[in-house]
Amino acid sequence: MRKLFALGIALLLVVSQSFSAQAEQLSADTSMVLIKTVSGGISPKSVLASGTGLISTHNMMYTHNVTFFDAKTFGVKSRVSDSVELSKFGFDKYSGSYKGAPVEGAFSPDGKYLYFTNYAMYGKGFTKEGHDVCSPASGYDKSFLSRINLDNFKIDAVYPVGSVPKVVSVTPDNKYILVSNWCSYTVTIISIESGKSVANVKIGRYPRGIAISKDSKFAYVAEMGGSNIHRIDLSDFSKSLIPVGSNPRAVVLSPDNTRLYVTLNSSGKVLAWDLVNNKRVKSVSTGKAARSLDISSDGSALFVVNFFSGTVSKVRTSDMKVLQTSKVCNEPIGVTYDAFTDYTWVACYGGSLKVFANR
């Protein structure tokens, strides 16, 4: 009887180890397979997975909405207009309704909200819409960050930020919201508790990508008009520089926060930076104009869209080798990995989403 019991335990251990081995191979040892094209009523500048069953697309001034999809069925859960009455939120100098232009989004750590940036605002009092080529001296209108309550899919808060806000990110401890302001050359840091800005950190020409350490101590901001990542200490908002190379656009951290991965737009490369030893690890070419990137939940693979090549690439993080490059659409602009389904979603500027299973 004891022998049978021991044999049973041994078999369970073998099965358990087999499942563990399969889990470890989840991302780097699979291939992307296109399973769905989603279109209609979207012009996505970016796409984002909540990790809990929602996919959001942020549709600029071309369709003036944020569209939410079911991560499993691909059906539309809600379309939220970017229009807002600013006076209802205490901004009395603005009367009537104002349209926005959603660029990027960030889900709150508690899953209650989605924050999205507006490239510009449209309505009375906004007279000088921002531009991709600009500086603080250009005098372009400042804009707003909006918050969508995911219980009812309505905008329930707005926050003033800089000119042409791009990326938004929320600290894992749900203390701060960070917004990179393309034309103001700053990052606005907003206290979630007070709803007020607590700092505007100077970055330099065209701040864009933001990644935040899981302990909420540091933020990493890409200066796309330069060659540095700005490392912001969130305890006092002081900075140090990481010299990654020209034209850094998007940034993500490894799950253990020991590596930073950066797309270098002009060279079409993705770079790995060792944060422990503060040194460059390796870079790899993925295509023309490497734009957005995301990382698998196990940290073994990166997903990168190459804007001018019309492709999406999968890169193994252990040796920075390109495992797969697939034609996806004209001008792929955004990408997100959804741990909830193990799907990779690609946003196509022309008005569609491509969904890849990792098999």
Q: How many domains does the chain divide into?
A: 1
Domain presence at residue 11: no
Domain presence at residue 35: yes
Is the pLDDT at 6 greater than 80? The verdict is: no
Averaged pLDDT, 20-48: 84
Cα(63)–Cα(149) distance, integer angstroms: 20
pLDDT tens-place string over residues 233-247? 999 999 999 999 999
State the CATH number of the domain containing residue 287.
2.130.10.10
Domain presence at residue 32: yes
* HSE-CB for 353 with a 13 A CA cutoff: 34
- Domain span including residue 228: 28-358
Domain presence at residue 7: no
Name the residue type at position 289. A
Torsion of CA 76, 327, 325, 278, to 10 degrees: -60
Report the pLDDT value the prediction gives residue 1, as an integer from 0 to 100. 44
Handedness of CA 9, 13, 18, 22 (dihedral sign): positive
Averaged pLDDT, 114-141: 97
CA distances from 286 to 47, 248, 353 (A): 20, 14, 20
% of the chain residues with pLDDT over 90: 92
Kindly report the pTM of this predicted structure.
0.92
And the tokens for 218?
Answer: 């540091």
**Strand ranges, E, within 182-244:** 186-191, 197-202, 207-212, 218-223, 229-233, 239-242
Domain presence at residue 10: no
Domain presence at residue 168: yes
φ and ψ at residue 307, rounded to 5 degrees: -60, -50
pLDDT tens-place string over residues 259-311? 999 999 999 999 999 999 999 999 999 999 999 999 999 999 999 999 999 99
